[in-house]
Amino acid sequence: MANASDRARFFLEQSVPELQELLRKDIFTQDEISAIAKKRSDFEHIINARGAPASDYIRYVAYEQNVDALKKKRIRRLGVKNFGYNGQRRTFFIFQRATRKHPGDLRLWMQYLDYTRSVRAHKRVGRILTDVLRLHPTEPSLWILAAKYSADDQGEFNAARSYFQRGLRFCPKEKQLWLEHCRLEMRYIAKTMDNIEGLGGNPRVAVSATSSNGSTSQDGEAIGGNAEIDETTTPAIRTDKTALETLATTPALTGAIPIAIFDAAMQEFEDDAEFAEQLFDLITGFSHLTCCSKILKHIVHVLGRQVPAPAEWAICSFKLPLVGIETDSPKFPMALRHSLQLLRATIVQQRKTKTRFSIAEKAALALLPLALDDTIDEELQQVISNVLKQTVKIMGSTKAGDLINTLQANKQLVEARMLLKFALKQDFSNQVLRSKYEELETTG
């Protein structure tokens, strides 16, 4: 086996033609070429030595990136044409050697991926993801990264879905994987519905649409002229619209997949109500979709079957009527009234159980954003404040103080101050709350 010096010499000899061309085209001077060769020799001897850490490879990569950046600037300034050596290849080669020697270093793999994505070497990104997932199949962040790359950068939702499904086989207890999988499916529905709406809104993009002279392009758009197509007299377009409407009502676009993910998650996590609430809150971010209400009602229904009913069921029931309704909408007052009635009824029903404390805490967190919303009518604001006072009273000073600390830790200072105001009205003599008030006031 060759020693470190022989291996270093071998790799250095491979870069000689590039250095010679850099000198011949006056991109670098002789002194600069000598300095680059010396620096590369130092790095090669270091990384080819036994036990070289990953940090040595990272420094080598950083140096090569700086050389490549300087080289590109000189080439543009000098107007050099047809320079045959790409600095990215050398950086890729160093990363390959680094990950081969340190396959367990996730930080190294992530830097390799970040660089490859930054230079848009998409095929190489796919190969890297395959390699790293083969080595680290139980690392959920890698499955999420691979799926997001497929969906966001490549537009391949099927590939992203495949990554999540495989990831859940290796990491079935990772809640973040379930959440991101559900988010992906909701994004897929949103994107598909937008495409369907776009096709339905402009008949000329339908595949069967024809122009006034009867000719069409390969993508179905009329060729030549600006003549409008009469939708009422074009049977082909009516057929297309019917097909689009049929497509929009398929199970994949009416929430069947997110519901299936939720049901599987509840089976995996033994009806974890807190996780069900997380999925509920995720789905509410897609309130503009018609299937959103169906999915949320299913979640509330599943939570309601638990005995005794958990606090999460009460809060999801409270949130459900308000989903998708703007605070300045005429529907908002009635929806708010319905939500508050459900909340009050639940609190009364649970008044003799410990669940009421959790309900009150979660209700306070849900009510605070509404209480701080300036777009809500003053009378409604007063109603919200009254209910918020009741939840603080149920929690008591200790639990209210804990919730204020949580809000403060999350940098939600406005919410913390408002909650503290209600807590002090209930127990002004509490020294802990008063000191917390002074602390928040000095925070600014």
Quick one: what percent of the chain has pLDDT higher than 90?
52
pLDDT tens by residue, 230-239: 434 334 434 4
If you average pLDDT over residues 178-188, what whole number do you get? 96
Assess whether pLDDT exceeds 60 at residue 213. Answer: no
Of the candidates 9, 10, 7, 31, the residue with the CA atom closest to the CA atom of residue 19: 31
SS3 category, 222:
strand
Of residues 182 and 444, which shows the higher confidence score? 182
If you average pLDDT over residues 300-304, what whole number do you get? 94
Note the pLDDT of residue 428.
Answer: 79
pLDDT tens by residue, 53-62: 999 999 999 9
The DSSP letter of residue 215 is -
Distance from C-alpha of 370 to C-alpha of 388, rounded to nearest angstrom: 10
Note the pLDDT of residue 260.
Answer: 95
Residues near 222 by beta carbon (within 8 Å), at least 6 away in sequence: 204, 209, 210, 211, 212, 215, 216, 229
pLDDT tens by residue, 303-328: 999 888 899 999 999 999 999 999 88
Note the pLDDT of residue 283.
Answer: 96
Distance from C-alpha of 385 to C-alpha of 393, rounded to nearest angstrom: 12
Least confident of 121-135, 220-234, 391-405: 220-234
Q: What are phi and psi of 222, to 5 degrees?
A: -60, 140
Of the candidates 264, 241, 256, 252, the residue with the CA atom closest to the CA atom of residue 172: 264
